Amino acid sequence: MLVDFFLQLKQAKVPVTIREYLSLLEALDQQVVWGSVEDFYYLARLCLVKDETHFDKFDRVFAQYFEGISDLGEEVKAQIPEEWLRKLTELVLSDAEKAEIEALGGFEKLMKTLKKRLAEQKKRHQGGGKWIGTGGRSPFGAYGYNPEGIRIGQDGSRHRRAVKVWDRREFKNLDGSVELGTRNIKVALRRLRHFAREGAPEVLDMPGTIRATANNAGYLDLQLVPKLHNKIKVLLFFDVGGSMDEHIKVCEELFSAARVEFKYLEFFYFHNFVYESVWRDNQRYRAERINLWDLINTYGPDYKLIFVGDAAMSPYEISMVGGSVEHYNDEAGYVWHQRLLDTYKDAIWLNPTPQGWWNFTQSVGMVQQLMEKRMFPLTLEGLESGIRMLSKVTG
Amino acid sequence: MKFTGTDTYVATDDLNLAVNAAITLGRPLLIKGEPGTGKTLLAEEVARSLGMPLYQWHIKSTTKANQGLYEYDAVSRLRDSQLGDERVHEIGNYIVKGKLWEAFDSEQRAVLLIDEIDKADIEFPNDLLQELDRMEFYVYETRQLVKAKHRPVIIITSNNEKELPDAFLRRCFFHYIRFPEAETMAQIVEVHYPGIKQSLLKSALETFFGMREVPGLKKKPSTSELLDWLKLLVAEEIPPEALHSKQPGKSIPPLHGALLKNEQDVGLFERLVGMSRRGR
């Protein structure tokens, strides 16, 4: 029973497990719902889906799987468009238009075509001349300009019917990589923690106190320990200017989250790629530069290194002496980059451009190679896998 | 025993079904949703409408799973031992019951609210797996097994600040409270302010939903903010025309501070209004 449905969900990458499947069966057995497709839909979602980002995938599988089933009970599904149409024709169409519909073969035929189109149509649609959707010239849909046009989905009636509920796919925009808010970033960064007790003892050490008191023949002997601190140290390198301008918002968010999350955080700016110096203040970047050798000698190898940049540049900027767009560099960029990587074993590169585009820029591939595949997209997911990578190396 | 919303809480059909499934099968129900859509309130209303006692466990970033079960107050015992108090010989005197224990102990079926579970440490939900699954736990100090007399109805809320572990999710039912549509919203308002002038309500809702459409707001106004705002509108006797005469998004509605809780949002909104005025 429903095994196929379960397997299809799994195939669609909705994370379902046997345990959840069994609890759905248990709920059905206890007759939590009875006889209504819509209730069943809600129950199945309640039991099987544990995150709203998967609602959309679930809806699609559900619609697909139960399409066949509701065909058996023709009236369940077929009535819905009919209701819409019947009701709406009364509201929307003038007598002349109704006559035109008659000319097209009458209401029944229109209905039949609509049903057929609904079945053929696999996804939401906008524009165009055949499919049902909005803004097109098909006779079915909304805001169209076919004289026989039938409005669908524009009226105020709320058919809380099953088909409609999952066909609306309201959770569509929650799927995938949602925009990064600083809170989310902080949560992601929080995975990079390594607690240690350092500094002045100021917290009561309960087990220690009990042990000491017991040793002290029962007379209270208070023991104190230093507070727990996150002792992770981070070097953050931001690419600024040029093609990075469009990513300023997400970089700002990452920066502000990182500043709150890490006590030991040092940040530097570079343009396109790292060379012999970086800077901390973008206003005075020509005057106040920090020599990369000084930087490497100042911050020990226990720092974690995070680059943030789109890695989009001319390949020469990485590979050639004198390739920099801003000045004449005596040593090629990759040499300096390698020096950093040699010092800081734990390093990742976060790239704000979508991962799908990386292949179109040669320099991204080069950086990816230099980083030994440790480049991650600057989305929540990417950040999480990047941070996981950083903390894994720590062990 | 079926939950169908109350006179002060409008629950949609899918929410009712979720609550009833959780009651019938005795599984915890995890509730997520935008802030201000009545997640916490749900537990109170379920308890009230079904006549069950309610135990609330509010989670903070420092909360440990043990604190919900019980705590052993070693310091009191230590102090008592030095003062020669008789109670010191019985360790049970120093076991302080947590909310979970209280709910398990309840003579009738109870509702237990675990509020904002995502505030706690990432490992927190994992420490409660056995307790929520079997509804029992072991007290090591007294060598006693605490078992729920009646499986409590457990309602857990989350604001999505942290991802919850899969093992934990598998043991829960999950419901996402969608933001109510205009129609449901009107019902909710009716429940809170019966007899509010229809004209005022209509224009207020228009303004409210218009404001939610404004792109780039850090915190969109939600149900609880709308209710506060309406309260102010009624108290100040603002006429519906003050809201109605202008289109939403093209003027600053009165008392908008109740809807926008963030000075950047207010700034953004005022700028947008200014722009659209100039555009006209």
DSSP letter at A150 equals: B
Per-residue pLDDT at B115: 92
Q: Which residues of B touch A47 (CB under 8 A)?
A: 21, 173
Please tell me which of the candidates B25, B122, B178 has its beta carbon nearest to residue A23: B25
Instruction: Note whether B169 contacts A55, CB cutoff 8 Å.
Output: no
Interface test with A, best of B27, B72, B174 (most A CBs within 10 A): B174
pLDDT at A146: 42
Q: Do B183 and A158 touch (CB under 8 A)?
A: yes
Q: How far is A133 from chain B (nearest CA, A)?
A: 22
- List beta partners, residue A351: A377
Cα gap A169→B160, rounded to integer Å: 21
| Euclidean distance between CA atoms B181 and A156, whole angstroms | 11
pLDDT of A78: 42
The predicted structure's pLDDT at residue A68 = 59
What's the pLDDT at A139? 46
Higher-pLDDT residue of A197 and B19 is: B19
The three-state (H, E, C) secondary structure of chain B, written as one string: CCCCCECCECCCHHHHHHHHHHHHHCCCEEEEECCCCCHHHHHHHHHHHHCCCEEEEECCCCCCHHHHHEEECHHHHHHHHHHCCHHHHCHHHHEEECHHHHHHHCCCCCEEEEECHHHCCCCHHHHHHHHHHHCEEEECCCCEEEECCCCCEEEEEECCCCCCCHHHHHCCEEEEECCCCHHHHHHHHHHHCCCCCHHHHHHHHHHHHHHHHCCCCCCCCCHHHHHHHHHHHHHCCCCHHHHHCCCCCCCCCCCHHHCCCCHHHHHHHHHHHHHHHHHC
Best B20, B76, B123, B173 residue to mutate vs chain A (most A CBs within 10 Å)? B173
CA distance A128 to A117: 14
Q: Work out the percent of chain B whose per-residue pLDDT is above 70.
A: 95
How far, in Å, CA of A60 to CA of A42, rounded?
14
To the nearest whole angstrom, how far is the Cα of A104 from the nearest Cα of chain B? Answer: 37
Q: How many CB pairs under 8 A join A and B?
A: 69
Q: Touching check for B99 and chain A: CB below 8 Å?
A: no
Partner residue facing B78 (CB), from A20, A33, A220: A220
Q: How far apart are CA B88 and CA A85, in angstroms?
A: 79
Give the C-alpha distances (Å, rounded to integers) separating A58 from A55, A72, A118: 5, 22, 20
Task: Report ipTM for this prediction.
Answer: 0.76
What tokens does B233 get?
Answer: 């509108």
Residue B19 vs residue A110, higher pLDDT: B19
Question: Is B14 close to A170, i.e. CB distance below 8 A?
Answer: no
Given an 8 Å threshold on Cβ–Cβ distance, is A32 in contact with B17? yes
Q: What is the pLDDT along chain A (395 residues), one digit of tens a residue?
A: 688 888 888 888 888 888 888 888 888 888 887 777 888 888 888 888 888 878 888 888 888 887 755 444 444 344 444 444 444 444 445 555 556 655 555 555 655 665 666 555 544 444 444 444 443 444 444 433 343 444 444 333 333 333 345 555 555 444 434 444 556 666 667 667 666 676 777 788 888 888 888 888 877 788 888 877 777 888 888 888 777 777 777 777 777 777 777 778 888 888 888 888 888 877 666 667 888 888 888 888 888 899 988 888 888 888 888 878 777 888 888 888 898 988 888 899 988 888 888 888 888 888 888 888 889 988 878 888 888 888 775 44
Q: What is the pLDDT of residues B249-263, one digit of tens each?
A: 556 777 777 888 777
d(CA B112, CA B244): 44
Tell me, yes or no, if A157 comes closer than 8 A to chain B by beta carbon.
Answer: no
> Above 90 in pLDDT, residue B55?
yes
Instruction: Please name the member of B21, B25, B74 whose beta carbon is closest to the beta carbon of A206.
Output: B74
- Coil/strand/helix, residue A203: strand
Rounded to a whole number of angstroms, the distance from the CA of B253 to the nearest CA of chain A is 26
Q: A-chain residues within 8 Å CB-CB of B21?
A: 27, 32, 43, 46-47
Partner-chain residue, chosen from B21, B82, B170, that has the shortest CB–CB distance to A20: B170
pLDDT at B154 over 90: yes
pLDDT at A31: 82
pTM of the shown model: 0.58
Q: What is the pLDDT of residue A179?
A: 42
The answer to whether A305 and A237 have CB atoms below 8 angstroms apart is: yes
Best residue in B15, B116, B176 for a mutation probing chain A (most A CBs within 10 Å)? B176
List the single residue in B82, B166, B173 with the smallest CB-CB distance to A220.
Answer: B82
